[in-house]
Structure 1
Amino acid sequence: MKGLPILDLAVILIYLLSMILVGVYFSRKNKNSDQFTKASGMIPSWAIGLSIYATFLSSNTFIGVPGKAFGSNWNAFVFSLSIPLAAWVASKYFVPFYRGTGEISAYTHLEHRFGAWARTYAVVCFLLTQVARMGSIFFGIAITLQALTGYSMQAIMIVTGLCIIFYTVLGGMEAVIWTEVVQAVIKTFGALLILYMIVSDLPGGVSKIVEIGAADGKFSLGSFSPDFTSSSFWVILLYGFFINLNNFGMDQNYVQRYHTAENEKSASKSVWLCVWMYVPVSLLFFLIGTSLYAYAQAHPELIEQVRQQVAVERLPAGASESQVTAMAASLTPADYGDKVMPAFMVSKIPAGLVGLILSAILAAAMSTISSGMNASATVFSVDIYQRYIKHDVNDKQNLRVLHIGTAVFGLIGMGAGIAMIGVKSILDMWWELSGIFAAGMLGLFLLGIISKQSKNHEALLATAIGIIVILWMTFSGSLLVDYPLLQSTMHKNMIIVVGTLTIFLFGVLLTKIRKRT
């Protein structure tokens, strides 16, 4: 890792080695599939809560949130404000439901409710979501490491990915949870350290940050007008509620953790622990972004460096100096927000502390990716392999499938991250992809739980209508350029809201029509 002082390199290597040793330690206990997928249901609620919190607090938060706050304002923080309401629904309805079924997969019950097609559709949506999530997180960590080391993003993703695959395959869900407990502490401390370093090096300190942030509207939560065509307060609130409803109710990463708890009460406590930790810590990252914005006003050389870097990346190889200068001058804060924190770390943070902060960012990436790999492998084993390929699989064979599936999904996530190189905003890209993939399965899930009288053909027709609406909202802007009246004018974050409600409401309507006829 060229470019890093020996002390920083030592801190990072110690952290990576520790994570691998955790996987090796728990590999001794991973003798069956039940232990691999749900740690035999013996994890305390506080550890599960920290694990869920660590999954929420990914490198998308570490890099994307400060970048978003730097480039615009605190509008995206409204997402965090929606989490308590979604958590209340989850603890009251979802946790008891999944603990009652006893099924490790979040999607098995959909087949009981509506048939094999419903289960398969939800599984496909989930796996696509996981690939998008892992890819965006690999991309986020690569941005920072490239700035610090000079290595290519592709090489960085491959090296970090192999480390994550190694300890996740060895240790299973128990290793995932306990490494996430450690990572939750490291990344929270790392965020506090970054904020301290920015404020202490800024003339005027906190008062200057407040002054500049208030003058430039950096603390705004967005427009409160009922506008669904832009990123208003209400659009982000609705998006946050529906996407977190999907997280707590349909995402295998979270549902699988409900089964690792000793009982239903313990599982519900873990959900609330995650909420009370994540909301204030997410605010901390918005503070970091605004502080960086104020810092940049006092240190314009930092921003000039970032602009030059982004211009070089966007222009074809061999571009002239004048072309680079012209491109750099045309860039806005929204174009380079994700690059500012890595640049600050490179130029302003002393040796030793860089390694500690980088370990925190690595922790943010590794916790979410390892969780996604384990959950994806579990879904593949239960909902695809055992359902369609081999019904009478024994436990030894199932454990082998889980190991292979974990590694394969890790490699696919790496590939997705490499494909995302060049994306302007990690957070925007992830929010759009997650909304598209999650909308359909959440609507189907809510229809199955709430509308008890809805049957297979009503659910199938409602889902088909919902998919059409999701595709229209996603692609009409680019496919129907010559027909503006046929284009969707809603903001992309409304896809999950409209898609979910379309499936649910059409399912209920079709059920009522059938009952009357």
Structure 2
Amino acid sequence: MGNLDWIILAGTLLSIVVYGVWKTRVNNDVSDYVLGGNKSKWWTIGLSVMATQASAITFLSTPGQAFHDGMGFVQFYFGLPLAMIIICMVFIPIYHKLKVYTAYEFLERRFDLKTRTLAAVLFLIQRGLAAGITIFAPSIILSAVLGWDLKTLNIIIGSLVIIYTVSGGTNAVSVTQKQQMFVIMTGMFIAFFFILGYLPPDITFTKALKIAGASEKLNILDFSFSTQSRYTFWSGITGGMFLALAYFGTDQSQVQRYLSGKSIRESQLGLIFNGILKIPMQFFILLVGVMVFVFYQFNASPLNFNPAATKAVNESVYAEDYKMLENTHEVLETEKSIAQSAYADAISLQDEDKAATAQKDMISLLARERSNREAAKAIINKADSSVEVNDKDYVFIHFILNYLPKGLIGLLLAVILSAAMSSTASELNALGTITALDLYKRNKSGTVAPEHYVKASKVFTLIWGIVAILIACVANLFDNLIQLVNIIGSIFYGNVLGIFLLAFFFKYIRSNAVFISALLTQIVVIVVFSLDWMSYLWLNAFGCALVILLAFVLESFDRLHKNPTIDIK
């Protein structure tokens, strides 16, 4: 990184923090701090909702996901528009009518305090872990790639977010997220066009897409019914919908974004805006990853994209074994480039026979390359089992640092850190609000001034910020970061969504049945996940259905046992 990169990086991040603090420096009461005074317009809500979901993990992991596995991950979002429609029709009118500060406040009005507390605690557990991961994700990767100290990065990112989130509350989060989304999308578009510009002169965008398709990277739709397949059309339209319903409808980090709307209509338009743009945005980010894949078919790539892993194995007794695999990798890269060029030429000449032969060679070489990379991972793991061998999250950052010109490196790093800050800010804001209002205020006796709860929200936000930094400092990676966050959510979200659906639609069910069912469901879901009985996306539908079924059984048994002729209202 040059001086220009540092100036752009530091200037972008500091300007966002300073602007957020200055713009939202006055908060007179809880409504101002928690709901931003209900002043947000629909475009602010829409961008804030998108920025909350689009963490640094999105821009680090998603391109790497596409590089290795293709575009199929976009199916994960197919259920989101359906979820947005349901939330707009059911959740938003109820929340606004009751004038609640938090989603869980509604549960006490419908059931009782213990049900509200349980849902709030489940949220605090999963979102507290997620907040730590959203700080840890960019830190671990930037630390490995740039050689920066990991814990120092965790503290820097966490502290920057804490400053303006504690100061301005929801309004500060919403205001800064508009700037962050602008920085993020500008940086991604610039990176995309530079990737296309770096392809060989005869490889047009159309040819690049055909090469990606021939390499099986554009297989978007999978209509199989396997519950073991993580990303299929059906898991996206069902499990993805349930996850989106739970996340946007019951997760305070999102609910707080649209509760700040000026009216029901503004909140609804904001969510529809998100529902319309989210899939195209994710499609584009995956497409960036696919173009990175095409780029590396014609340019040298490391055997493992994690520089810390390469360093660890080269300093071990397995260095010679790894070197042999690197030599094989170089030969395969040369053969791949020849096969890709032959395929591109065959396309230009419209020679289907030559194109088919070249495609077979490409697929065979890619399979050999994958096998070689897996062998490298095994050796790295032998050399140092503490090093992350799964390098999906390092692919895009490797391209940024090694191929983008000076200045743009700083901008793309600002994109990654801005995304981390935007998502973490929403999470800390929600964690502080839930702790202050659902737990502290609800259980505090006596009368205090309204300003007291503003201070309490700030204190709890600060505490959760410190907790998130501590979680980031002790966190560990597995598989792929964007999947890790969704897995954590899926373990809890289905259960919580089921509680809310019972509250909305099943007046027959009372509090005790819901409370016991929720506890049992959470235990069962954790067991099912630990035994790997189904893909994590299906856990959302499973948990939701299970808590509703158990609640019906328990409620029916209780009513039958107490009074078979009881009048149901």
With normalisation by structure 2, the TM-score equals: 0.83
Q: C-alpha distance in 2, partners of 1:325/1:426?
A: 28
Q: How does 1:347-426 map to 2 (within 5 A)?
A: 347-390=402-445, 392-426=447-481
Residue 402 of structure 2 aligns with an amino acid whose one-letter code is S
Q: C-alpha distance in 1, partners of 2:516/2:508?
A: 15
Q: Which has the larger radius of gyration?
A: 2
Residue 235 of structure 2 aligns with an amino acid whose one-letter code is V
User: How many angstroms does 1:468 deviate by?
Assistant: 3.1
Q: How does 1:52-451 map to 2 (within 5 A)?
A: 52-146=49-143, 149-203=146-200, 204-221=203-220, 223-233=222-232, 234-300=234-300, 302-304=301-303, 306=305, 309-312=308-311, 320-322=318-320, 325=323, 329=373, 330-331=375-376, 335-390=390-445, 392-451=447-506
1:492 aligns with 2:536: yes
Q: 1:108 to 1:54 in 2, by over 3 A?
A: same
Residue pair 2:35, 2:170 contacting (<8 A) in 1 also? yes
Q: C-alpha distance in 2, partners of 1:373/1:316?
A: 40
The corresponding residue for 2:347 is none
Q: 1:374 to 1:391 in 2, by over 3 A?
A: farther
Q: 1:413 to 1:324 in 2, by over 3 A?
A: farther
User: How many angstroms does 1:317 deviate by?
Assistant: 7.7
Q: 1:308 to 1:410 in 2, by over 3 A?
A: closer
Residue 175 of structure 2 aligns with an amino acid whose one-letter code is W
Residue pair 1:225, 1:232 contacting (<8 A) in 2 also? no
User: How many angstroms does 1:337 deviate by?
Assistant: 1.6
The corresponding residue for 1:483 is none
User: How many angstroms does 1:37 deviate by?
Assistant: 0.8
User: How many angstroms does 1:367 deviate by?
Assistant: 0.8
Residue pair 2:76, 2:235 contacting (<8 A) in 1 also? no
107-116 or 279-288, larger mean C-alpha shift: 107-116
1:25 aligns with 2:32: no
Of the three residues 6, 12, 29, the one matched with 1:15 is 12
Of the three residues 533, 546, 549, the one matched with 1:505 is 549
The corresponding residue for 2:521 is 466
Q: 1:221 to 1:197 in 2, by over 3 A?
A: same
Q: 1:317 to 1:171 in 2, by over 3 A?
A: farther
User: How many angstroms does 1:304 deviate by?
Assistant: 2.9
User: How many angstroms does 1:373 deviate by?
Assistant: 0.7
Residue 459 of structure 2 aligns with an amino acid whose one-letter code is I
Q: 1:69 to 1:465 in 2, by over 3 A?
A: same
Q: 1:316 to 1:408 in 2, by over 3 A?
A: farther
Q: 1:468 to 1:164 in 2, by over 3 A?
A: closer
**1:270-302 deviations in Å (ceiling 9; x for gaps):** 1111222222111111101111111122123x2
**SS of the counterpart of 1:335?**
coil
User: How many angstroms does 1:32 deviate by?
Assistant: 2.5
Residue pair 1:465, 1:502 contacting (<8 A) in 2 also? no
Q: C-alpha distance in 1, partners of 2:322/2:156?
A: 31
Q: C-alpha distance in 2, partners of 1:513/1:54?
A: 45
Residue 36 of structure 1 aligns with an amino acid whose one-letter code is Y
Q: 1:87 to 1:443 in 2, by over 3 A?
A: same
With normalisation by structure 1, the TM-score equals: 0.91
User: How many angstroms does 1:470 deviate by?
Assistant: 0.6
Residue 69 of structure 2 aligns with an amino acid whose one-letter code is S
Q: C-alpha distance in 2, partners of 1:290/1:355?
A: 23
Q: C-alpha distance in 1, partners of 2:264/2:2?
A: 48
Q: 1:264 to 1:450 in 2, by over 3 A?
A: same
**SS of the counterpart of 2:199?**
coil
**SS of the counterpart of 1:306?**
coil
Residue 159 of structure 1 aligns with an amino acid whose one-letter code is I
Residue pair 2:38, 2:259 contacting (<8 A) in 1 also? yes
387-396 or 462-471, larger mean C-alpha shift: 387-396
User: How many angstroms does 1:220 deviate by?
Assistant: 1.8
**SS of the counterpart of 2:309?**
helix
Residue 285 of structure 1 aligns with an amino acid whose one-letter code is I
Q: C-alpha distance in 2, partners of 1:217/1:503?
A: 40
Residue 210 of structure 1 aligns with an amino acid whose one-letter code is L
Q: C-alpha distance in 2, partners of 1:334/1:101?
A: 50
User: How many angstroms does 1:326 deviate by?
Assistant: 7.4
Q: C-alpha distance in 2, partners of 1:222/1:369?
A: 32
Residue 322 of structure 1 aligns with an amino acid whose one-letter code is E
**SS of the counterpart of 2:217?**
coil
Count of aligned residue pairs for this structure pair: 501
Residue pair 1:459, 1:507 contacting (<8 A) in 2 also? yes
**SS of the counterpart of 1:29?**
coil
**SS of the counterpart of 1:303?**
coil
Q: C-alpha distance in 1, partners of 2:520/2:219?
A: 37
Residue pair 2:77, 2:240 contacting (<8 A) in 1 also? yes
| Ranges in structure 2 where 5+ consecutive residues have no aligned partner | 327-372, 378-387, 565-569
Q: 1:341 to 1:47 in 2, by over 3 A?
A: same
User: How many angstroms does 1:493 deviate by?
Assistant: 2.4
**1:260-279 deviations in Å (ceiling 9; x for gaps):** 11111111011111222222
499-508 or 421-430, larger mean C-alpha shift: 421-430
| Structure 1 segments of 4+ aligned residues over 6 angstroms from their partners | none
Residue pair 1:70, 1:289 contacting (<8 A) in 2 also? yes
Q: 1:156 to 1:334 in 2, by over 3 A?
A: closer
The corresponding residue for 1:481 is none
User: How many angstroms does 1:508 deviate by?
Assistant: 3.0
**1:226-265 deviations in Å (ceiling 9; x for gaps):** 1112224122332211111012210112221232111111
User: How many angstroms does 1:407 deviate by?
Assistant: 1.4
**SS of the counterpart of 2:220?**
coil
Residue pair 2:144, 2:306 contacting (<8 A) in 1 also? no
User: How many angstroms does 1:453 deviate by?
Assistant: 1.2
User: How many angstroms does 1:43 deviate by?
Assistant: 1.7
Q: 1:20 to 1:232 in 2, by over 3 A?
A: closer
Q: C-alpha distance in 2, partners of 1:143/1:327?
A: 26
**SS of the counterpart of 2:100?**
coil
27-36 or 181-190, larger mean C-alpha shift: 27-36
Residue 223 of structure 1 aligns with an amino acid whose one-letter code is D
Residue pair 2:82, 2:241 contacting (<8 A) in 1 also? yes
User: How many angstroms does 1:473 deviate by?
Assistant: 0.6
